Amino acid sequence: MMRKLALATACAAALGANAATAADFYAGKTITFIIGTGPGGGYDIYGRVVAKHLGKYIPGKPHVLVQNMEGASTVRAAGFIYKVAPKDGTSIAAISPGAVVGPLLEGKLNGLYDPTKFQYLATANNSTRVCAVFHTSKITTFKDAYTQEAIISASAEGGSTRDYAYLHKKTSHVNFRIISGYHGTPSAMLAMERGETDGLCGIDWSSLRSQKADWVRDGKLRVLVQAGLEPSDELTKMGVPMIWDFFQNDTDRQVAELVIAQQLFGRPYIAPPETPADRVAILRKAFDLAMKDPDLLSDAEKARIDILPAGGERVQEGVAKIYATPKEIVEKAREAIRE
């Protein structure tokens, strides 16, 4: 009995020492918080709001330095975190769900990084993505796009606005003509305003509402359809239908479910795979606490963004589940988002 008690005491002491060491580690340190998009977009807005309040919940209160690393719809930032960034708990990144599911759905990213090996720290939002058109468009409802051509702005390959435009075209079978290559959502929305295109798809409702609050306020925007695991109360009250209402068979629905499942982690935050477990635990707890901070929530309200968080462990499980999808559904989903 005495040996067991001594062993238990020694283990507890060791765990306590490890926790103290991890906590002491951050004192006087700087955490580099990489945002995988350029300034002004939705990921940048979310990332800066979170980063502003994160440091006070990390023992030692390190400085959190935000840096933008734009490129390939956040794939560049994901690759940097995976292969180059320090693995000691001082490097984290905000990436897109597309960067997480890209290797599965696009294949060509294989070898750059393995999304299942990232340490997921949290997500700030369980997102709802929409298709929307400018008020001058001849398209007024999603059903209109079955009988009339809608010209849709889209990013380069791998961006959500491109993937979702093709997903809707190939699973809901709407009459979209997709113009790819726009440099981010601000560029795509400028094309809408100029009348070059009707609208865009695959943008988070919270980002659209934040970036173009005047469009929403002044009725310059028509939201045609919402895509999410659950309906948005706000959009439902506006009369916006769910995408699930427009599928003609089970296969199309299963394909869409795989792509839309990424929205469970609408704003994911990651650390490198080799980050020590005790520091991952500290960072996950800090994100959890920061997302409940009244000052953060006040800043989010001012920025017109929604905070609907999930913890890192839940995101980790969600990513693993997506990567366990049967191969035949994965291949159909790959085809659905290709040009």
Q: How confident is the model at residue 266 (pLDDT cuts 50, 70, 90)?
A: confident
Superfamily of domain 129-261: Periplasmic binding protein-like II (3.40.190.10)
What is the spatial distance between Cα 186 and Cα 170, in angstroms, rounded to a whole number? Answer: 25
Q: What is the pLDDT of residues 65-75, one digit of tens each?
A: 999 998 887 89
CA count, 13 A, side-chain hemisphere, 120: 28
Percent of the chain past pLDDT 90, that is, above it, reads 66
Q: What is the pLDDT of residues 298-319, one digit of tens each?
A: 999 998 888 989 999 999 999 9
Q: Helix crossing, 250-260 with 97-106: angle to 10°?
A: 130
Please give the average per-residue pLDDT across 60-68, as a whole number.
95
Q: What is the pLDDT of residues 96-129, one digit of tens each?
A: 988 898 888 876 665 789 999 999 999 998 889 9
Q: How confident is the model at residue 1 (pLDDT cuts 50, 70, 90)?
A: very low
Per-residue pLDDT for 160 more than 90?
no
Please give the average per-residue pLDDT across 174-185, as a whole number.
90
Q: What is the pLDDT of residue 109?
A: 60
Which is nearest to 141 in space by CA: 183, 199, 72?
199
What is the spatial distance between Cα 51 and Cα 33, in angstroms, rounded to a whole number? Answer: 7
pTM score of the predicted model: 0.73
What is the pairing mode between strands 119-123 and 268-271?
Answer: antiparallel
CATH top-level class for 27-126+266-336? alpha beta
Nearest-10 Cα torsion for 327, 251, 106, 313: -70
Between 183 and 4, the more confident residue is 183
Q: What is the pLDDT of residue 72?
A: 80
Q: What is the pLDDT of residue 193?
A: 94
Q: How confident is the model at residue 276 (pLDDT cuts 50, 70, 90)?
A: very high
Q: What is the pLDDT of residues 34-51, one digit of tens each?
A: 999 888 888 899 999 999
Per-residue pLDDT for 23 more than 70?
no
Q: What is the pLDDT of residue 183?
A: 80
Q: What is the pLDDT of residue 296?
A: 96
Percent of the chain past pLDDT 70, that is, above it, reads 92
Token pair for 336? 């659905």
Q: How confident is the model at residue 240 (pLDDT cuts 50, 70, 90)?
A: very high
Q: What is the pLDDT of residue 2?
A: 45
What is the spatial distance between Cα 19 and Cα 281, in angstroms, rounded to a whole number? Answer: 10
Q: What is the pLDDT of residue 22?
A: 65
For the chain, give every residue range classified as CATH 3.40.190.10. Answer: 129-261
CA count, 13 A, side-chain hemisphere, 94: 30
Burial pattern 48-75, b for ≥16 Cβ within 10 A else e, equals: bbbbbbbbebbbeebebebebbbebbbb
Q: What is the mean pLDDT of the chain?
A: 89
For the chain, give every residue range classified as CATH 3.40.190.150. Answer: 27-126+266-336
Q: What is the pLDDT of residue 198?
A: 97
Q: How confident is the model at residue 15 (pLDDT cuts 50, 70, 90)?
A: very low
State the SS3 of the chain.
CHHHHHHHHHHHHHHHHHHHHHHHHCCCCEEEEEECCCCCCHHHHHHHHHHHHHHHHCCCCCEEEEEECCCHHHHHHHHHHHHCCCCCCCEEEECCHHHHHHHHHHCCCCCCCCHHHCEEEEECCCCCEEEEEECCCCCCCCCHHHHCCEEEECCCCCCHHHHHHHHHHHHHCCCEEEECCCCHHHHHHHHHHHCCCCEEEEEEHHHHHHHCHHHHHCCCEEEEEEECCCCCHHHHHCCCCEHHHHCCCHHHHHHHHHHHHHHHHCCEEEECCCCCHHHHHHHHHHHHHHCCCHHHHHHHHHCCCCCCCEEHHHHHHHHHHHCCCCHHHHHHHHHHCCC
